[in-house]
Chains A and B, each alone.
Chain A
Amino acid sequence: MSRTVARPERPYLGQKELDDVVRMNTELLAELWILRDRVTVLEHLLEQKQVLDRKTLSDFVPEGELAKELERERNALVARVAGAPHATSYDFATLAKQAEIG
Protein backbone atom coordinates (compact mmCIF):
# COMPACT_ATOMS: atom_id res chain seq x y z
CA MET A 1 0.00 0.00 0.00
CA SER A 2 1.39 3.39 -0.89
CA ARG A 3 2.11 5.71 1.98
CA THR A 4 -0.01 8.77 2.54
CA VAL A 5 0.24 12.05 4.39
CA ALA A 6 -2.85 12.81 6.43
CA ARG A 7 -4.15 16.24 7.29
CA PRO A 8 -3.79 17.15 10.95
CA GLU A 9 -6.84 16.80 13.17
CA ARG A 10 -6.24 20.08 14.96
CA PRO A 11 -7.54 23.10 13.06
CA TYR A 12 -5.16 26.04 12.68
CA LEU A 13 -7.83 28.73 12.64
CA GLY A 14 -9.94 27.61 15.56
CA GLN A 15 -12.50 25.55 13.71
CA LYS A 16 -12.17 22.77 11.15
CA GLU A 17 -14.75 24.27 8.77
CA LEU A 18 -12.91 27.57 8.84
CA ASP A 19 -9.70 25.78 7.90
CA ASP A 20 -11.59 24.13 5.05
CA VAL A 21 -12.86 27.46 3.73
CA VAL A 22 -9.45 29.08 3.92
CA ARG A 23 -7.94 26.04 2.21
CA MET A 24 -10.42 26.55 -0.63
CA ASN A 25 -9.66 30.25 -0.71
CA THR A 26 -5.91 29.68 -0.82
CA GLU A 27 -6.29 27.06 -3.52
CA LEU A 28 -8.29 29.59 -5.56
CA LEU A 29 -5.63 32.21 -4.99
CA ALA A 30 -3.07 29.75 -6.37
CA GLU A 31 -5.29 29.09 -9.40
CA LEU A 32 -5.75 32.83 -9.91
CA TRP A 33 -2.01 33.33 -9.92
CA ILE A 34 -1.42 30.43 -12.31
CA LEU A 35 -3.94 31.99 -14.69
CA ARG A 36 -2.42 35.47 -14.41
CA ASP A 37 1.03 34.03 -14.99
CA ARG A 38 -0.30 32.26 -18.10
CA VAL A 39 -1.99 35.38 -19.49
CA THR A 40 1.19 37.38 -19.00
CA VAL A 41 3.25 34.70 -20.72
CA LEU A 42 0.65 34.57 -23.51
CA GLU A 43 0.85 38.33 -24.03
CA HIS A 44 4.61 38.15 -24.10
CA LEU A 45 4.62 35.38 -26.69
CA LEU A 46 2.04 37.13 -28.87
CA GLU A 47 4.15 40.25 -28.77
CA GLN A 48 7.30 38.29 -29.57
CA LYS A 49 5.55 36.76 -32.59
CA GLN A 50 4.32 40.24 -33.58
CA VAL A 51 0.69 39.20 -33.38
CA LEU A 52 -0.15 41.81 -30.78
CA ASP A 53 1.69 44.39 -28.77
CA ARG A 54 0.99 44.80 -25.09
CA LYS A 55 0.53 48.54 -25.37
CA THR A 56 -2.35 48.00 -27.79
CA LEU A 57 -3.86 45.55 -25.35
CA SER A 58 -3.50 47.93 -22.41
CA ASP A 59 -4.83 50.94 -24.33
CA PHE A 60 -7.75 49.10 -25.87
CA VAL A 61 -11.16 50.32 -24.69
CA PRO A 62 -13.95 47.80 -25.24
CA GLU A 63 -16.98 49.23 -26.98
CA GLY A 64 -20.30 48.03 -28.34
CA GLU A 65 -21.09 44.33 -28.01
CA LEU A 66 -17.75 43.48 -26.40
CA ALA A 67 -18.29 46.13 -23.70
CA LYS A 68 -21.76 44.73 -23.02
CA GLU A 69 -20.46 41.17 -22.82
CA LEU A 70 -17.77 42.17 -20.33
CA GLU A 71 -20.27 44.10 -18.24
CA ARG A 72 -22.62 41.12 -18.12
CA GLU A 73 -19.87 38.74 -17.10
CA ARG A 74 -18.44 41.16 -14.53
CA ASN A 75 -21.81 41.72 -12.90
CA ALA A 76 -22.54 38.02 -12.87
CA LEU A 77 -19.18 37.28 -11.25
CA VAL A 78 -19.76 39.91 -8.56
CA ALA A 79 -23.23 38.57 -7.91
CA ARG A 80 -22.04 34.99 -7.66
CA VAL A 81 -19.11 35.68 -5.36
CA ALA A 82 -20.33 38.59 -3.23
CA GLY A 83 -23.81 37.17 -3.18
CA ALA A 84 -22.83 33.62 -2.23
CA PRO A 85 -23.30 34.00 1.55
CA HIS A 86 -26.68 35.68 0.99
CA ALA A 87 -28.10 33.25 -1.54
CA THR A 88 -30.38 31.35 0.78
CA SER A 89 -32.70 30.00 -1.90
CA TYR A 90 -32.90 29.61 -5.67
CA ASP A 91 -35.60 29.28 -8.27
CA PHE A 92 -35.96 28.25 -11.88
CA ALA A 93 -36.20 31.76 -13.32
CA THR A 94 -32.99 32.97 -11.72
CA LEU A 95 -31.09 29.89 -12.78
CA ALA A 96 -32.42 30.02 -16.31
CA LYS A 97 -31.18 33.60 -16.68
CA GLN A 98 -27.66 32.47 -15.99
CA ALA A 99 -27.70 30.50 -19.23
CA GLU A 100 -27.39 33.76 -21.13
CA ILE A 101 -24.14 34.59 -19.44
CA GLY A 102 -20.72 33.70 -20.73
Chain B
Amino acid sequence: MITLKQRGRSGLQFLGSLQQFSSSVLRDQAEADFAAQPEAEALTEEFKTDVRPHVWQQRLERARDVVERSKAYRFNRFYQRWVAEQNFIRAIPAVEARRTEWQAAVAPKQPKDTSRLQLDPNLPIPRWFEGVEWHLEPGGWDGYDLTQPMFMAGIGPYVFALGGYAAVDVNCDIRSQRKNVLSELKRRDFKRIYEAGCGGATTLSVARQLFPNAELVGGDLSPALLRGGHFMSEALGLNITFRQEDAIKVAEADGSVDAVISYAVHHEMPPGVSATMIKEMFRILGPNGEMIISDPPPFRAVNPMQAVILDWDTDNRAEPFFSAAAMASLPQMMRDAGFVDVEEYALDKRGYPWVTRGRKPA
Protein backbone atom coordinates (compact mmCIF):
# COMPACT_ATOMS: atom_id res chain seq x y z
CA MET B 1 0.00 0.00 0.00
CA ILE B 2 1.18 3.52 -0.73
CA THR B 3 1.34 6.36 1.76
CA LEU B 4 0.34 9.87 0.76
CA LYS B 5 2.63 12.88 0.84
CA GLN B 6 2.40 15.19 3.84
CA ARG B 7 0.03 17.68 2.22
CA GLY B 8 -2.43 15.06 1.06
CA ARG B 9 -2.33 13.10 4.29
CA SER B 10 -2.72 16.06 6.63
CA GLY B 11 -5.40 17.66 4.44
CA LEU B 12 -7.51 14.51 4.55
CA GLN B 13 -6.91 14.12 8.27
CA PHE B 14 -8.22 17.63 8.68
CA LEU B 15 -11.42 16.60 6.88
CA GLY B 16 -11.81 13.70 9.28
CA SER B 17 -11.48 16.01 12.28
CA LEU B 18 -13.89 18.57 10.85
CA GLN B 19 -16.47 15.91 10.08
CA GLN B 20 -16.09 14.47 13.57
CA PHE B 21 -16.58 17.89 15.13
CA SER B 22 -19.55 18.62 12.90
CA SER B 23 -21.27 15.33 13.59
CA SER B 24 -20.68 15.36 17.34
CA VAL B 25 -20.52 18.86 18.87
CA LEU B 26 -22.64 20.63 16.22
CA ARG B 27 -25.00 17.70 15.76
CA ASP B 28 -25.63 17.38 19.52
CA GLN B 29 -26.31 21.09 19.77
CA ALA B 30 -28.65 20.92 16.78
CA GLU B 31 -30.57 18.08 18.44
CA ALA B 32 -30.89 20.08 21.64
CA ASP B 33 -32.07 23.08 19.62
CA PHE B 34 -34.68 20.95 17.87
CA ALA B 35 -35.93 19.42 21.13
CA ALA B 36 -36.49 22.93 22.49
CA GLN B 37 -38.79 23.92 19.63
CA PRO B 38 -42.54 23.97 20.38
CA GLU B 39 -43.31 21.71 17.40
CA ALA B 40 -40.74 19.03 18.31
CA GLU B 41 -42.95 16.74 20.38
CA ALA B 42 -45.83 16.65 17.90
CA LEU B 43 -43.48 16.09 14.97
CA THR B 44 -41.74 13.26 16.80
CA GLU B 45 -45.10 11.53 17.39
CA GLU B 46 -46.16 12.10 13.80
CA PHE B 47 -42.98 10.54 12.41
CA LYS B 48 -43.68 7.24 14.15
CA THR B 49 -46.41 6.31 11.69
CA ASP B 50 -45.75 5.35 8.11
CA VAL B 51 -47.44 7.28 5.29
CA ARG B 52 -47.36 7.50 1.52
CA PRO B 53 -44.32 9.19 -0.11
CA HIS B 54 -46.03 12.50 -0.92
CA VAL B 55 -47.13 12.80 2.73
CA TRP B 56 -43.57 12.03 3.85
CA GLN B 57 -42.41 14.88 1.63
CA GLN B 58 -44.80 17.26 3.36
CA ARG B 59 -43.76 16.06 6.79
CA LEU B 60 -40.08 16.38 5.95
CA GLU B 61 -40.56 19.92 4.69
CA ARG B 62 -42.26 20.93 7.94
CA ALA B 63 -39.61 19.19 10.03
CA ARG B 64 -36.82 20.79 7.98
CA ASP B 65 -38.23 24.25 8.63
CA VAL B 66 -38.03 23.58 12.36
CA VAL B 67 -34.61 21.89 12.28
CA GLU B 68 -33.07 24.67 10.20
CA ARG B 69 -33.80 27.24 12.89
CA SER B 70 -30.70 25.89 14.61
CA LYS B 71 -27.48 27.67 13.70
CA ALA B 72 -25.56 24.57 14.77
CA TYR B 73 -27.58 22.50 12.28
CA ARG B 74 -26.92 24.93 9.42
CA PHE B 75 -23.19 24.85 10.06
CA ASN B 76 -23.31 21.09 10.54
CA ARG B 77 -24.82 20.73 7.04
CA PHE B 78 -22.38 23.23 5.57
CA TYR B 79 -19.42 21.25 6.89
CA GLN B 80 -20.95 17.94 5.84
CA ARG B 81 -21.23 19.16 2.28
CA TRP B 82 -17.81 20.78 2.32
CA VAL B 83 -16.11 17.62 3.57
CA ALA B 84 -18.04 15.47 1.06
CA GLU B 85 -16.70 17.63 -1.79
CA GLN B 86 -13.23 17.96 -0.33
CA ASN B 87 -12.85 14.20 0.03
CA PHE B 88 -12.33 14.12 -3.73
CA ILE B 89 -10.89 17.60 -4.20
CA ARG B 90 -8.05 16.64 -1.82
CA ALA B 91 -7.75 12.90 -2.33
CA ILE B 92 -7.50 12.93 -6.13
CA PRO B 93 -4.42 15.23 -6.28
CA ALA B 94 -2.95 13.37 -3.30
CA VAL B 95 -3.25 10.02 -5.08
CA GLU B 96 -2.12 11.45 -8.41
CA ALA B 97 1.10 12.49 -6.68
CA ARG B 98 1.67 8.79 -5.99
CA ARG B 99 0.46 7.40 -9.33
CA THR B 100 3.87 6.09 -10.37
CA GLU B 101 4.53 4.47 -7.01
CA TRP B 102 1.06 2.90 -6.94
CA GLN B 103 1.35 1.50 -10.43
CA ALA B 104 4.82 0.14 -9.70
CA ALA B 105 3.56 -1.44 -6.49
CA VAL B 106 0.50 -3.13 -7.97
CA ALA B 107 1.95 -4.21 -11.32
CA PRO B 108 3.85 -7.21 -9.96
CA LYS B 109 0.90 -8.14 -7.78
CA GLN B 110 -1.73 -8.22 -10.51
CA PRO B 111 -3.58 -11.50 -10.06
CA LYS B 112 -2.46 -14.13 -12.54
CA ASP B 113 -5.63 -16.09 -12.07
CA THR B 114 -8.47 -14.04 -13.52
CA SER B 115 -11.01 -16.84 -13.46
CA ARG B 116 -12.66 -15.30 -10.43
CA LEU B 117 -13.24 -11.96 -12.15
CA GLN B 118 -15.98 -12.12 -14.76
CA LEU B 119 -16.55 -8.80 -16.49
CA ASP B 120 -19.19 -8.24 -19.14
CA PRO B 121 -18.42 -5.25 -21.37
CA ASN B 122 -21.77 -5.73 -23.12
CA LEU B 123 -23.83 -5.59 -19.96
CA PRO B 124 -26.59 -2.99 -20.38
CA ILE B 125 -26.11 -0.39 -17.66
CA PRO B 126 -29.47 0.72 -16.24
CA ARG B 127 -30.43 4.34 -16.80
CA TRP B 128 -30.88 5.04 -13.09
CA PHE B 129 -27.22 4.12 -12.51
CA GLU B 130 -25.66 6.06 -15.34
CA GLY B 131 -24.46 9.65 -15.08
CA VAL B 132 -24.69 9.92 -11.29
CA GLU B 133 -21.69 11.43 -9.49
CA TRP B 134 -22.27 9.05 -6.56
CA HIS B 135 -21.26 10.67 -3.26
CA LEU B 136 -19.97 13.67 -5.29
CA GLU B 137 -17.24 11.66 -6.95
CA PRO B 138 -16.71 13.10 -10.45
CA GLY B 139 -17.55 10.38 -12.95
CA GLY B 140 -19.22 8.20 -10.36
CA TRP B 141 -17.96 4.75 -9.38
CA ASP B 142 -16.14 4.21 -12.65
CA GLY B 143 -14.81 7.70 -13.24
CA TYR B 144 -11.31 7.35 -11.83
CA ASP B 145 -8.77 4.61 -12.42
CA LEU B 146 -7.13 5.18 -9.02
CA THR B 147 -10.36 4.84 -7.04
CA GLN B 148 -8.92 1.94 -5.10
CA PRO B 149 -5.86 3.72 -3.63
CA MET B 150 -7.91 6.90 -3.26
CA PHE B 151 -10.17 5.13 -0.78
CA MET B 152 -7.68 2.69 0.71
CA ALA B 153 -4.85 5.14 1.31
CA GLY B 154 -6.84 8.34 1.69
CA ILE B 155 -10.55 8.82 2.22
CA GLY B 156 -11.03 5.44 3.91
CA PRO B 157 -8.58 5.65 6.81
CA TYR B 158 -8.56 9.41 7.28
CA VAL B 159 -12.24 10.33 6.84
CA PHE B 160 -14.68 7.44 6.54
CA ALA B 161 -13.10 5.43 9.35
CA LEU B 162 -14.17 8.12 11.82
CA GLY B 163 -17.86 7.90 10.89
CA GLY B 164 -20.20 10.86 11.13
CA TYR B 165 -21.69 10.97 7.63
CA ALA B 166 -25.01 9.94 6.09
CA ALA B 167 -26.54 7.26 8.35
CA VAL B 168 -23.19 6.29 9.89
CA ASP B 169 -22.87 7.75 13.36
CA VAL B 170 -19.72 9.49 14.51
CA ASN B 171 -16.91 7.26 15.82
CA CYS B 172 -18.55 4.18 14.33
CA ASP B 173 -16.31 1.77 12.50
CA ILE B 174 -17.98 0.72 9.27
CA ARG B 175 -16.03 -2.54 9.14
CA SER B 176 -17.23 -3.60 12.60
CA GLN B 177 -20.74 -2.65 11.57
CA ARG B 178 -20.52 -5.03 8.63
CA LYS B 179 -19.38 -7.81 10.92
CA ASN B 180 -22.23 -7.11 13.33
CA VAL B 181 -24.75 -7.18 10.50
CA LEU B 182 -23.51 -10.44 9.00
CA SER B 183 -23.51 -11.98 12.45
CA GLU B 184 -27.29 -11.55 12.36
CA LEU B 185 -27.53 -14.35 9.79
CA LYS B 186 -28.99 -17.25 11.78
CA ARG B 187 -27.14 -20.18 10.27
CA ARG B 188 -23.40 -20.80 10.18
CA ASP B 189 -23.37 -23.73 7.76
CA PHE B 190 -23.79 -21.85 4.48
CA LYS B 191 -22.14 -23.48 1.50
CA ARG B 192 -22.64 -20.69 -1.03
CA ILE B 193 -23.24 -16.98 -0.30
CA TYR B 194 -24.09 -14.31 -2.87
CA GLU B 195 -23.73 -10.57 -2.32
CA ALA B 196 -25.84 -8.34 -4.56
CA GLY B 197 -24.20 -4.99 -5.31
CA CYS B 198 -20.98 -5.99 -3.59
CA GLY B 199 -18.86 -3.13 -4.96
CA GLY B 200 -15.42 -4.39 -3.96
CA ALA B 201 -14.52 -6.93 -1.30
CA THR B 202 -15.45 -4.89 1.76
CA THR B 203 -18.43 -6.89 2.96
CA LEU B 204 -17.37 -10.19 1.41
CA SER B 205 -14.01 -10.05 3.21
CA VAL B 206 -15.95 -9.87 6.47
CA ALA B 207 -18.13 -12.75 5.25
CA ARG B 208 -14.93 -14.71 4.65
CA GLN B 209 -13.99 -14.28 8.34
CA LEU B 210 -17.39 -15.46 9.53
CA PHE B 211 -17.88 -18.21 6.97
CA PRO B 212 -14.39 -19.52 6.18
CA ASN B 213 -15.62 -22.54 4.23
CA ALA B 214 -18.41 -20.97 2.17
CA GLU B 215 -18.12 -20.25 -1.53
CA LEU B 216 -18.48 -16.47 -1.92
CA VAL B 217 -19.79 -14.71 -5.01
CA GLY B 218 -20.31 -10.98 -5.48
CA GLY B 219 -22.14 -9.19 -8.28
CA ASP B 220 -22.03 -5.50 -9.16
CA LEU B 221 -22.53 -3.14 -12.08
CA SER B 222 -19.21 -1.32 -11.63
CA PRO B 223 -16.17 -2.92 -13.30
CA ALA B 224 -13.79 -0.61 -11.39
CA LEU B 225 -15.10 -1.73 -8.02
CA LEU B 226 -15.13 -5.38 -9.06
CA ARG B 227 -11.52 -5.15 -10.25
CA GLY B 228 -10.54 -3.59 -6.94
CA GLY B 229 -12.36 -6.29 -5.01
CA HIS B 230 -10.76 -9.04 -7.09
CA PHE B 231 -7.29 -7.55 -6.62
CA MET B 232 -7.81 -7.43 -2.87
CA SER B 233 -9.34 -10.87 -2.68
CA GLU B 234 -6.53 -12.51 -4.62
CA ALA B 235 -3.87 -10.65 -2.64
CA LEU B 236 -5.36 -11.81 0.63
CA GLY B 237 -6.31 -15.27 -0.57
CA LEU B 238 -10.01 -14.73 0.13
CA ASN B 239 -11.16 -16.85 -2.80
CA ILE B 240 -14.14 -14.72 -3.85
CA THR B 241 -15.69 -14.72 -7.33
CA PHE B 242 -16.67 -11.31 -8.72
CA ARG B 243 -19.14 -10.97 -11.54
CA GLN B 244 -20.32 -7.90 -13.41
CA GLU B 245 -24.08 -8.20 -13.54
CA ASP B 246 -27.30 -6.43 -12.75
CA ALA B 247 -28.80 -7.60 -9.47
CA ILE B 248 -32.23 -7.90 -11.07
CA LYS B 249 -30.96 -10.72 -13.32
CA VAL B 250 -27.96 -12.65 -12.06
CA ALA B 251 -26.15 -15.65 -13.45
CA GLU B 252 -27.11 -17.99 -10.65
CA ALA B 253 -29.35 -21.01 -11.11
CA ASP B 254 -32.59 -21.31 -9.17
CA GLY B 255 -31.95 -22.34 -5.57
CA SER B 256 -28.18 -22.29 -6.00
CA VAL B 257 -27.21 -20.25 -2.92
CA ASP B 258 -28.18 -20.54 0.71
CA ALA B 259 -27.56 -16.97 1.83
CA VAL B 260 -27.83 -13.57 0.18
CA ILE B 261 -26.32 -10.37 1.50
CA SER B 262 -27.09 -6.85 0.39
CA TYR B 263 -25.18 -4.11 2.16
CA ALA B 264 -25.82 -0.39 1.59
CA VAL B 265 -27.30 -1.00 -1.84
CA HIS B 266 -31.03 -0.30 -1.74
CA HIS B 267 -30.63 3.41 -1.01
CA GLU B 268 -28.69 3.64 -4.27
CA MET B 269 -31.48 2.29 -6.48
CA PRO B 270 -35.12 3.18 -7.11
CA PRO B 271 -37.54 1.20 -4.87
CA GLY B 272 -39.04 -0.52 -7.92
CA VAL B 273 -35.61 -1.92 -8.76
CA SER B 274 -35.15 -2.99 -5.13
CA ALA B 275 -38.39 -4.98 -5.29
CA THR B 276 -37.30 -6.72 -8.51
CA MET B 277 -33.87 -7.45 -7.06
CA ILE B 278 -35.37 -8.99 -3.93
CA LYS B 279 -37.54 -11.27 -6.11
CA GLU B 280 -34.42 -12.30 -8.02
CA MET B 281 -32.62 -13.09 -4.78
CA PHE B 282 -35.59 -15.17 -3.69
CA ARG B 283 -35.25 -17.12 -6.93
CA ILE B 284 -31.58 -17.98 -6.43
CA LEU B 285 -32.00 -18.94 -2.78
CA GLY B 286 -32.60 -22.57 -1.90
CA PRO B 287 -35.16 -23.75 0.67
CA ASN B 288 -34.50 -22.23 4.11
CA GLY B 289 -32.06 -19.82 2.51
CA GLU B 290 -31.57 -16.54 4.34
CA MET B 291 -31.42 -13.00 3.04
CA ILE B 292 -29.98 -10.18 5.09
CA ILE B 293 -30.13 -6.52 4.10
CA SER B 294 -28.45 -3.58 5.73
CA ASP B 295 -29.27 -0.09 4.56
CA PRO B 296 -29.99 3.30 6.14
CA PRO B 297 -33.14 3.15 8.29
CA PRO B 298 -36.56 4.10 6.94
CA PHE B 299 -37.96 7.48 8.00
CA ARG B 300 -40.60 5.76 10.14
CA ALA B 301 -37.84 4.29 12.33
CA VAL B 302 -36.03 7.52 13.24
CA ASN B 303 -36.85 10.86 14.83
CA PRO B 304 -37.66 13.91 12.66
CA MET B 305 -34.17 15.37 12.93
CA GLN B 306 -32.50 12.14 11.81
CA ALA B 307 -35.06 11.86 9.00
CA VAL B 308 -34.23 15.39 7.81
CA ILE B 309 -30.52 14.53 7.90
CA LEU B 310 -31.05 11.33 5.88
CA ASP B 311 -33.28 13.15 3.41
CA TRP B 312 -30.55 15.79 3.01
CA ASP B 313 -28.24 13.27 1.35
CA THR B 314 -30.55 12.97 -1.63
CA ASP B 315 -29.91 16.48 -2.94
CA ASN B 316 -26.62 17.25 -1.24
CA ARG B 317 -24.44 14.16 -1.52
CA ALA B 318 -25.49 12.80 -4.92
CA GLU B 319 -27.70 10.05 -3.55
CA PRO B 320 -30.71 10.41 -5.87
CA PHE B 321 -32.71 7.53 -4.34
CA PHE B 322 -31.85 7.97 -0.66
CA SER B 323 -35.22 9.50 0.30
CA ALA B 324 -37.27 7.23 -1.93
CA ALA B 325 -35.62 4.23 -0.29
CA ALA B 326 -36.26 5.61 3.19
CA MET B 327 -39.96 5.91 2.33
CA ALA B 328 -40.18 2.37 0.98
CA SER B 329 -40.71 -0.85 2.93
CA LEU B 330 -38.08 -3.52 2.41
CA PRO B 331 -39.95 -5.97 4.69
CA GLN B 332 -43.03 -5.62 2.50
CA MET B 333 -40.95 -6.21 -0.61
CA MET B 334 -39.51 -9.35 1.00
CA ARG B 335 -42.95 -10.66 1.97
CA ASP B 336 -44.27 -9.90 -1.52
CA ALA B 337 -41.40 -11.93 -2.96
CA GLY B 338 -42.29 -14.90 -0.76
CA PHE B 339 -39.94 -14.54 2.21
CA VAL B 340 -41.13 -15.54 5.67
CA ASP B 341 -39.96 -14.68 9.19
CA VAL B 342 -39.28 -11.18 7.92
CA GLU B 343 -38.16 -8.73 10.56
CA GLU B 344 -36.36 -5.39 10.78
CA TYR B 345 -34.47 -3.69 13.59
CA ALA B 346 -31.59 -1.38 14.46
CA LEU B 347 -28.29 -2.68 15.77
CA ASP B 348 -27.14 0.62 17.19
CA LYS B 349 -28.23 4.16 18.02
CA ARG B 350 -29.90 6.50 15.53
CA GLY B 351 -31.25 3.48 13.71
CA TYR B 352 -28.00 2.32 12.14
CA PRO B 353 -26.99 -0.26 11.11
CA TRP B 354 -30.58 -1.09 10.16
CA VAL B 355 -31.15 -4.76 9.45
CA THR B 356 -33.94 -6.40 7.43
CA ARG B 357 -33.86 -10.16 7.19
CA GLY B 358 -36.01 -13.05 6.11
CA ARG B 359 -36.04 -16.69 5.08
CA LYS B 360 -37.17 -18.57 2.02
CA PRO B 361 -39.66 -21.22 3.13
CA ALA B 362 -38.52 -24.85 3.21
Contacts and interface: CB of A to CB of B under 8 A. Distances in A.
Interface in B1-34: 6-7, 9-11, 13-15, 17-18
B14 A13 contact: no
A17 B19 CA distance: 22
A77 B10 CA distance: 24
Given A8-B81, A8-B316, A22-B78, A3 B10 contact: no
A6 B67 CA distance: 25
Given A5-B136, A12-B74, A37 B6 contact: yes
Interface in A1-49: 2-5, 7-8, 12-14, 19, 22-23, 26, 29-30, 33-34, 37-38, 41
User: A interface, how many residues as a size bin?
Assistant: 20 to 34
- Of B14, B85, B318, most buried by chain A (CB within 10 Å of CB) is B14
Interface residues of B, number: 31
Contact of A3 (B75, B86, B143, B315): B143
Contact of B139 (A3, A13, A19, A34): A3
Interface string B81-104: 110011010000000000000000
Given A3-B133, A3-B143, A12 B77 contact: yes
B74 A3 contact: no
B76 to A, nearest CB: 9
A38 B6 contact: yes
19 contacts: A2-B138, A2-B139, A3-B131, A3-B133, A3-B143, A7-B85, A8-B316, A12-B75, A12-B77, A12-B78, A12-B81, A23-B82, A30-B14, A33-B11, A33-B14, A33-B17, A34-B7, A37-B13, A38-B10
A5 B82 contact: no
Contacts of B74: 12-14
A37 B7 CA distance: 9
Contacts of B88: 5
